[in-house]
A = this chain, B = another copy of it.
Amino acid sequence: MTPAPGSPGDVLTLISAGSATTRSDLARLTGLARSTISQRVDALIESGLVEESESGESTGGRPPRQLRLHTDGHAFAGVDVGATHCRVALMDISGEVLAECEDPLLVTEGPEAVLAHVDTRLDRLLAEAGRPRSALRALGMGVPGPVEFATGRPNNPPIMPGWNDYPIPEHFEDCVVLVDNDVNVMALGEHRNAFPGTGHLLFVKVGTGIGCGIVAEGRLHRGAQGSAGDIGHIRVSGHDDAGCRCGNSACLEAVAGGAALARRLTELGVPAATGADVVALVQAGDTLALRLVREAGRHIGEVLAGLVNFFNPEVIVVGGVLSRVHEHLLAGIRETIYRRSLPLATHHLSIVPSRTGEDAAALGAGLLAIEHYLSPDNINKIVNA
């Protein structure tokens, strides 16, 4: 469980995290003898998990042979199933994207249709990358609804008719499948890609609805039923007239979600159907749309201010369609958070737009799969086999 850090899995963890790139690094970090490390590294190379690259720079003596993950022979997939699109990324074990595609696809077409689509795209991407299907080691998938993570089954998802309790992993017989909520995988993607050193991070997705992915101590917090982060139905003050599809009123989503903004704009005589339309209007210089977006930022900020006090994150990342006009959205969010949160919690808090963009979900889903595969336990199993 916890004693001397030394198993092959631990060694690989250090290599994949970039904490160690040479055998001597590993010896220093693990406290194991150099000879033992050499043996461990040999085993990892033997298993096809690690390779040597060209020699590094000398520090006065013989230059060390650099180690890195062996990126051939394996493949991992990250799948982003959205309400109206499907993105599939093929990645190598280091997290590099080998090939990627996105197609319009309605999640309402049901699991068989969507998963069949994923299968065809997967085969195409594998062919593009020149790897056989058998190279696929694990697949991560983000879906737009709550999921029981342990079993990979959607849990009464409101916008995924036909998916309830559907055993997604069983569709892919040949590899491990991990399924999670889309906002969770986006949070993971953003964290690993742009804020790897951050302990506690919130990723807020402002799209049609509003959701939040939670990273605590570097790991995803899913909560007891896997429904953590569902902040779209938190009450905002002063909007008791705004009815929400959930049956309550004054929900954040009903006040500041993309769909709500579009509806409101339409009411005010500026036709808009979706969050993307709202963004387009803002970008076209429509002052009314701009005002609404900024106002939405304030409402989101009100909710986030409470969550900052409660959770005390280091970083809040704002993503989703609306973040395309993040200058305006963030202004409102920042304004309210800095006014309503405690100084101790805001002092070192960064509130930033997504750096990973459209790709965060597929990337994060892939990373979920890769990190599962690279877990020390799993690696030890592979090496000992």
Contacts and interface: CB of A to CB of B under 8 A. Distances in A.
14 contacts: A1-B2, A1-B5, A155-B344, A200-B224, A217-B221, A223-B313, A224-B345, A227-B309, A229-B312, A230-B310, A231-B310, A234-B309, A235-B340, A237-B250
Interface string A311-323: 1111000000000
Contact of A344 (B225, B303, B348): B225
Interface string A282-313: 00000000000000000000110111011111
B237 A236 contact: yes
Interface in A189-210: 199-200
A69 B340 CA distance: 48
Contacts of A217: 221
Q: Output the residue of A3, A4, A314, A340 with the most chain B CB within 10 A.
A: A3
A146 interface: yes
A135 to B, nearest CB: 26
Interface stretch (A6-14, A103-111, A269-277): A6-14
Contacts of A3: 3, 6-7, 9-10, 376, 380
What band does the interface of chain A fall in when counting residues whose beta carbon is under 8 Å from B? 35 or more
Contact of A309 (B224, B230, B377): B230
What secondary structure prevails in chain A residues at the interface with B?
A: loop
A235 B305 contact: yes
A222 B345 CA distance: 11
A144 to B, nearest CB: 15
Nearest to A155: B344
Interface in A86-139: none
Contacts of A342: 227, 230, 233, 246
Contacts of A224: 199-200, 312-314, 345, 348-349
A228 B222 CA distance: 18
A347 B146 CA distance: 14
Contacts of A356: none
A216 interface: yes
A212 interface: yes
A310 B228 contact: yes
A60 interface: no
Contacts of A302: 235
A225 B345 contact: yes
A240 B222 CA distance: 33
A248 interface: yes
Given A1-B2, A1-B7, A377-B2, A237 B234 contact: no
A292 to B, nearest CB: 21
Contacts of A1: 2, 5-7, 10, 13, 376
